[in-house]
Chains A and B, each alone.
Chain A
């Protein structure tokens, strides 16, 4: 790097010094690549191992041979996971809960986000304060009475109860994301619409919503993945196996010691990860920006 910057004259005057610097830079570079390799192994190896296990036959998994590459790519784990281990019904439950949560979160937080972004003052201060607190508050104290309340109204062990709870706990961050997207739409555009005599609803539908589409998609994906991945509420609130969501079924797989079918378990785990991977692949840049804003501004 610095070698290319060095002018020829300097090169002629101090050839020995340049050489020292070059070896130093090279050594530094080498060190950087070694640490990068360490990170890549630390981050990537567990993933590779999981994927590899999902293609291993149970005979290979139960033998003591340890190898990253499956001996013969065994595709049976995926259908096995679906058919025999009840994953298909719990994937259905997860899909139902996640889709409904997404819909509710969007419907409810859209007006709220608009208000947060456009109205200054107490409401905005209160809203952002509450959003921050909701991100760090331990749910353990809330879950005990929540369980009792939902039990009284018959919503324990019920997917609808889960949807309501997920909606409540996904909304704060969804609101925060959405209000950021609303704030990025210039108010002047709305003003222009208003001057042309359009009603507020018309302004919202014809001007704001079309511009908000990417934000809505991002928020919807976030809500979907949150509900799809959620574990704690489902563990407490869902009791009968036919109502299990995917994370709970996977957990019960692990808990049901004795004969754990490792191959289908790994296959199920891989399948459960797919929605989130899509989400992060699409949104990684936006999320990084959002994280930073959240970290700095609180």
Chain B
């Protein structure tokens, strides 16, 4: 806090008297001005947070885009050369990358959809006057609070083919025994998707719940008097008022899920046979295990383009929503 700008007296901005005229009520409010002096002051205040961002975020991003056009590697005695679009051409024909892209899309789509469905169900339950509410709320937040590594370790135990409780429970009900959930080609992806839902549900639930609590209670009561049953009330009152929240969390969740790494990496490392190889895992392995940083950066470029595309869809829905309301 050694910024000298802060010690200046809080005088109204003399250089911009027009501002004072226009917003008479705020004329004396010290720091809400729009004058040049205030703007300079604001920039000084923001600079400390801008510097690390420029060094550790913006610069690497630009370099990252550039590296994709070189044959950069992490191998010793290798001179990096500019190779133009070679990496991208190779990427087009890389069936493993596109397979991981497909798996990433399946993963992001299923997790997001199930997260929304399950989260909506739980939010509805928490919004009705049932018992054990406080307890359920706290429990529902736990997955969110835990370190992803711990979640992954915990679910590896649940899915364990040897003394895992899931197999034991299935065995108890006469199901097949000793399924290697995370090691089996057919079950690995669904198994990690379930964990993705487990982790992501709390946030969706709490957001939806907070939205539901803003719906005026009288609306529901009135509808109930008119004989509308729970389903009708949900469809014609709750759902429409939640629509902006639903579009917004769905698009954000999709992007987050598409970007996810740690959870699946600790559970399967992308196996068995690449069946859970999310795009981020694939790129990580190419960059830091195979040490082909140039080629991996090209993958990163493509993935960033996808996310930017999704992001613009999200922003567009937000913008449209704002204009309509």
Size band of the interface chain B makes with A: 35 or more
In the complex the two chains form, is B262's CB within 8 Å of A171's CB? Answer: no
Q: Which residues of B contact A110 (CB under 8 A)?
A: 1
Interface residues of B in 1-47 (CB under 8 A from A): 1, 3, 6-10, 28-34, 38-39, 41-46
Main SS at interface, chain B: helix
Is B111 in contact with chain A by the CB < 8 A criterion? no
Q: Is A95's CB within 8 Å of the partner chain B?
A: no
Does A10 count as interface, using CB distance less than 8 angstroms?
no
Contact A39 B122, beta carbon cutoff 8 Å: yes
How many A-B residue pairs lie within 8 Å, measured between CB atoms?
309
Q: Is A33 in contact with B130, judged by CB distance below 8 angstroms?
A: yes
In this complex, the member of A109, A110, A121, A146 whose beta carbon has the largest number of chain B beta carbons within 10 angstroms is A146
Tell me whether A200 and B6 are in contact in the complex, defined as CB-CB below 8 angstroms, given that A36-B132, A149-B60, A232-B262 are known contacts: yes
Interface residues of A in 239-261 (CB under 8 A from B): 246-247, 250-251, 253-255
Q: Mark B104-147, 1 if CB is under 8 A from A, else 0.
A: 00000000000000000110010011101000111111111111
A39-78 vs B, CB cutoff 8 Å, 1 = contact: the mask equals: 1101111110110010000000111111010000000000
* Cβ contacts under 8 Å, B69 to chain A: none
- A127-B42 Cα distance, complex, nearest whole Å: 11
Q: Which of A43, A145, A288 contacts B209 (CB 8 A)?
A: A288
- Nearest residue (CB) in B for A208 is B31
In the assembled complex, B192 has its CB within 8 A of some CB on chain A: no
Q: How far, in angstroms, from A278 to B158 measured CA to CA in the complex?
A: 25
Shortest Cβ distance from residue A1 to the other chain B in the assembled complex, whole angstroms: 8
| CB–CB B52/A108 < 8 A | yes
Q: Which residues of B contact A250 (CB under 8 A)?
A: 149-150, 153
Nearest CB of chain B from residue A92's CB, rounded to whole Å: 16
User: Does the CB pair B52–A231 fall under 8 Å?
Assistant: no
Q: Which of B41, B52, B130, B145 is in CB contact (< 8 Å) with A168?
A: B52
**How near does chain B come to A252, taking the closest CB pair, in angstroms?**
10
Interface residues of A (CB under 8 A from B): 1-2, 28, 32-33, 35-36, 39-40, 42-47, 49-50, 53, 61-66, 68, 107-112, 114-116, 118-121, 123, 127, 130, 133-149, 164-165, 167-169, 171, 175, 187-188, 190-191, 194-195, 198-201, 203-204, 225, 228-229, 231-232, 235-236, 246-247, 250-251, 253-255, 262, 265-266, 269, 272-273, 276-277, 279-281, 284, 287-289, 291-292, 295-296, 298
